[in-house]
Amino acid sequence: MALRVAVIYGGRSGEHEISLRSAEAIIAALDPAKYEVHRILITREGRWEPRALSPEQGANPGIDVVFPVLHGTFGEDGTVQGLLELAGLPYVGAGVLASAVAMDKEVLKRLLAERGIPVVEFETLFRNQFRGERRIEPVCSRFGFPMFVKPANLGSSVGISKVRTCEELKAAIELAAQFDRKIVVERGIVGREFECAVLGNEDPVAAGPCEILPSREFYDYDDKYVLNAARTVLPAEITAEQAAEIRRLAVEAYRTAGCEGMARVDFLMESATGRVYVNEINTIPGFTSISMYPKMWEAAGMSFSALVDRLIELALERHRARAATRFCR
């Protein structure tokens, strides 16, 4: 009997369109001989719309496992994961805590730093701090320029700016504040960008890293999804020792955040020092035609369809393990 897989996609975040593209790629990779696929679209307004692939499926089938393909807020941040936990359904990817931790850039940085994992120096601001008479000069002098300004809880580089002056900093904070009440300001790293794919539950493994070569100031939303001008180098052209260190740090960061299933860990390598910093963790990485998470595993010998199979296996394994846990006396 085919396994009934519900693919949840869309969502209320600024990454709605990316989610649609990722979901289509995943659905195309699900072998119809193994899986009975059920689409559940979440609209931009938050409506849930079950969409059967055939009339005989109906709109409300029983579900064996859920594959959330929701990037950003209200999907990758633990909210949907909590709902699925309450429903007692197995699901692909990180659980509630890891999803929430990885989504919040400030919380993740603090947690990684506590474990001795290198992160770029940062400061946290709040939207209301920059209303009224508050001056921006103390922030301008905090790290020196350039700086990066980011909404604390968002992905795909939405709302992120690279700034070189106080005036640019003020505008960047105003932009980031449109997407989150909490804002992270980081010291700008002049160097190279890398990504590393991690897969697994209790014994995660990392694929070989790739390098991102942006066509713009940094790897922003347009560079990722609009211009199609950024280049990737896979495998990354670095020493074996550097590649091994990135993989080690990726697995360590994954474990520190409590991730399961999958994640893409992003890195910065400072040109002046050669030091590697963990930039962020994406617990539901992209699965579009340009997304590097499946490409890194393909380079490691795992096809897209085999990767999707493995992610579903990991979801079911975790669910079976949790079934042995007592939740009452």
Identified catalytic residue from 35, 91, 225, 277: 225
Is 286 labeled as catalytic in the residue annotation?
A: yes
Catalytic residue among 19, 157, 161, 282: 282
Q: Is 211 a catalytic residue?
A: no
CB 61 within 8 A of CB 35: no
Alpha-carbon span 269 to 318, nearest angstrom: 34
123 is catalytic: no
Based on the residue annotation, tell me whether 167 is a catalytic residue of this protein.
no
Set 12, 21, 264, 318: catalytic member:
264
CA distances for 279 relative to 121, 196, 328, angstroms: 11, 11, 39
Residue 280: active-site member: yes
280, 291, 293, 318: the active-site residue: 280
Of residues 286, 291, 293, 318, which has the active-site annotation? 286
Residue 99 and residue 58 in contact, taking contact as beta carbons nearer than 8 Å: no
Q: Which own/partner contact pairs does 216-225 have at CB distance under 8 Å and 24+ positions apart?
A: 217/162, 218/148, 218/157, 218/160, 218/162, 218/193, 219/157, 219/193, 220/157, 220/160, 221/156, 221/157, 221/158, 223/157, 224/156, 224/157, 224/290, 225/17, 225/18, 225/156, 225/288, 225/290
Closest CA to 195 of 290, 54, 309: 290
Query: Does 208 participate in catalysis according to the annotation?
Result: no
Sheet containing 65-69: give its strands across.
48-52, 35-42, 3-10, 65-69
Catalytic residue among 266, 277, 279, 318: 266
Catalytic hit among 10, 12, 15, 72: 15
Instruction: List 149's β-bridge partners, or say none.
Output: 161, 185
Neighbours of 160 (CB within 10 A): 22
| Residues recognised as catalytic | 15, 156, 225, 264, 266, 280, 282, 286
